[in-house]
Structure 1
Amino acid sequence: MGNRYYTGPVTDHFDGKQFYHAGLPSTDKSLLELLRWKVFSKPARWPEAIAAQSDLKPDAHVEGLRIIAIGHSSLLIQAAGLNILVDPVWSDRTSPFTWAGPIRHNPPAVSLADLPPIHAVLVTHNHYDHMDTTTIAALWRVHKPMVISPLGNDTVICKDAPDVEVQTGDWWQTFNLSDHVRATIVPAYHWSARNLGDRRFALWGGFILETPDGVIYCAGDTGYQDGRIFPEIRKRCGDPLVAILPIGAYEPRWFMKSQHTDPAQAIQIAIDCGAQHLLGVHWATFQLTDEPWEEPAQLLESAMRDQKTIDLTAQALRPGDIWEP
């Protein structure tokens, strides 16, 4: 069976059917490896509710730069008058089912009804904790934003939300969001799938946002692997003012290390790409892996104490946290 999401020429990361990382260990896991994790792991017990801010009502227009953590990896980035959502997930579960799968431990910091006018939606990849087609459809009905995602994800989104207009691109492709803000899709060490039969049929990535107040790097999901892509992002796109990086969903390491960074690796990515500030996301909302909910923030703080010579600040964002330069 061919790729039902994307048809295009063979490249250094697409073999005509699946996307891949040339020369690196595969992120694919076998059924036996998955069973080994699930049978022998001892996941930490999360509290039913994890305290976080909610009911925020953001300004409709921000001339400078403001980043609001919605929860997990969902962000509202307000830059130069634009309102941009990254990986918006407002559903209660990150799952193909409404009755099973990881459930929210805190509500979105901003309700859908209280969002400002949304001009652009950036979707890094098609895993359910990053691509929520129910949310995307709801945003489209009200705001009609530009929707941008890596190759093949238009098919995935439009299967569930056929009215949504999606622009897709390859790594390093740039989109003008306005006269003053540009978004570029950049590589990430990860993978994609919505079900058992479509692994790596759609491309995954992160985004670089060029704004008048500085460069923002949103990595999406990524492992560290050989680290080669992060200096390349710096070389091509400039030193980020802020790098928004995943710090959770890393245990057990033998299973997750090829696809998810731990907090110490997130710091290394920020150093590699030349960022001034690190904002940690992808933690404390959905329990996807085995670590305790509070551990990513603790390990980030501990790892930063070990970095005595770098000019970098780091903060683990909880829902409702607001960052401004």
Structure 2
Amino acid sequence: MRRLLKGLGTALLFLAVALCFAPSLIPPFLDRIYYRGPPSDHFDGERFFNPGFGHYGGGNPRSFVNRVLTADGRAEWPSEVPVRQTVPPRRVNGSEMRVTWIGHATVLVQTGGLNILTDPIWSERASPFSFAGPKRVRAPGVKFEDLPKIDLVVISHNHYDHMDLPTLKRLWARDRPLIVTSLGNDTILRNAGMPPRATEYGPGVEALDWGQPTLISRHEDRTGGGPAYVVPLRNHHWGSRWGTDRNRALWSAFLIKLPGGDIFFAGDTGWGDGSWVKEAAAQGPYRLAIIPIGAYEPRDFMKTNHVNPEEAVHMFEMLRPTAALGIHWGTFQLTFEAINDPPSRLANLRRARGIPANGFLATEVGRTFSVPAR
């Protein structure tokens, strides 16, 4: 009986993930059209794709579902990890840059009078369901009520662990930030009550194609010199909310261009052929790079979806930022590796390649650190 209940719990834990990886199991009526526009080198008129790879399947979904149900090779995570939460300052002015890892892909960057959030999620589950799906084992490193007023939110794609509508609704109601994402995702946000950006420097949702910039704010208002803007950049991933809406909206990394030093946020990504990393490196230099290091096993299935620590270090060496933060680990158990495997492997790789510990960090949730100027 205990074994049966454990198997049932595992199945529920991974239900949302498995459904997204197995669109053939989802009724066609759950499909959605998020974007209409002319074909391009990454849009065929109906769905987006990774250039050079087409509409790849991301591994064998039936094999993955079977392994989920049997928990074959899946490491056991603790149900809860203690977190020492922090209270960030309301603003960080001038050239100082303070960075707080809140958990998963959510990072607070404070610099030049701007408060920036990446892929914010404060929900207990990364799932379309409140009763099932991956549950948080680490609380957010900053309580929502302790979060300073947010000026800019970037959303890399529409998976539930990166586009968390309950959190985004709270942020919009409280702060009215600028929300920048990639093509098609604005439809989902608009349907959830977040309106499009109406003026050049105003709040609201703006959905952009790869390489298309938008101004964040008037430079004299916040940053003290030079334009501040954000640009979605190519990375290697996919998007879906319900399985059959696969790749109806675009995914992206981001360049956040600031007078005090630029930020690269990789979003959620596989390596692909690495050409997108070379393109991103050409947009540098970067003061801060935010790079995923977790959710990579089993490798035969996850290779097309998520980089592993070895690929993350390769990315770091190509981008050559002043500092990097490793994210996307230790918050939600989305895959099979042990909870501390990503930072452990990163530490071994740093030592082997002569990278200083403060060059590519994997911090505990809630820790704040400063990034030196270039």
Same fold? TM cut 0.5: yes
Structure 2 contact 59–302 (Cα < 8 Å) conserved: no
* TM-score normalized by the length of structure 2: 0.82
- In structure 2, what is the equivalent of residue 50 of structure 1? 81
| 1:265 match: secondary structure | helix
Are 2:125 and 1:97 aligned? no
Largest Rg, 1 or 2: 2
- In structure 2, what is the equivalent of residue 168 of structure 1? 207
- In structure 2, what is the equivalent of residue 231 of structure 1? 278
Structure 1 contact 80–181 (Cα < 8 Å) conserved: no
Counterpart among 292, 295, 310 of residue 338 in structure 2: 292
Structure 2 matches for 1:1-325, cutoff 5 A?
A: 4-24=33-53, 26-39=56-69, 41-54=72-85, 56-63=86-93, 64-162=96-194, 165-178=204-217, 179=219, 180-235=227-282, 237-308=283-354, 313-325=359-371
* TM-score normalized by the length of structure 1: 0.94
Deviation of 1:159 after TM superposition, in Å, equals 2.4
Deviation of 1:39 after TM superposition, in Å, equals 4.6
Deviation of 1:3 after TM superposition, in Å, equals 5.7
What is the distance in 1 between the residues matched to 2:180 and 2:167?
15
What is the distance in 1 between the residues matched to 2:159 and 2:32?
17
What is the distance in 1 between the residues matched to 2:284 and 2:61?
41
- Structure 2 gap ranges (5+): 1-27, 197-203, 220-226
| 2:80 match: secondary structure | coil
- Structure 1 gap ranges (5+): none
Deviation of 1:255 after TM superposition, in Å, equals 0.4
How has the CA–CA distance of structure 1 residues 96 and 171 changed in structure 2, closer, same or farther, with 3 Å as cutoff? same
Structure 1 range deviating more: 98-107 or 301-310: 301-310
Structure 2 contact 97–370 (Cα < 8 Å) conserved: yes
Deviation of 1:75 after TM superposition, in Å, equals 0.9
How has the CA–CA distance of structure 1 residues 210 and 163 changed in structure 2, closer, same or farther, with 3 Å as cutoff? closer
Cα distance per residue 1:124-167 (max 9 Å; x no partner): 11011110011101111110111110000011122233557311
> Which residue identity is paired with 1:175?
T
| 1:214 match: secondary structure | coil
| 2:364 match: secondary structure | coil
Cα distance per residue 1:13-58 (max 9 Å; x no partner): 000011001222725345423334425632111111113221x221
Structure 1 range deviating more: 294-303 or 314-323: 314-323
> Which residue identity is paired with 2:330?
A
What is the distance in 2 between the residues matched to 1:111 and 1:226?
39
> Which residue identity is paired with 1:171?
W
Structure 1 range deviating more: 102-111 or 127-136: 102-111
Q: Percent identity?
A: 37
What is the distance in 1 between the residues matched to 2:125 and 2:355?
41
Q: How many residues align?
A: 323
| 2:348 match: secondary structure | helix
Deviation of 1:114 after TM superposition, in Å, equals 1.2
Cα distance per residue 1:258-303 (max 9 Å; x no partner): 1101111101011112223221000111110000101100000011
Cα distance per residue 1:72-101 (max 9 Å; x no partner): 110111120011111000100000000101
Structure 2 contact 265–291 (Cα < 8 Å) conserved: yes
Runs of 4+ in 1 over 4 A off after TM superposition: 309-312
What is the distance in 2 between the residues matched to 1:163 and 1:184?
20
Q: Which has the higher helix share?
A: 2
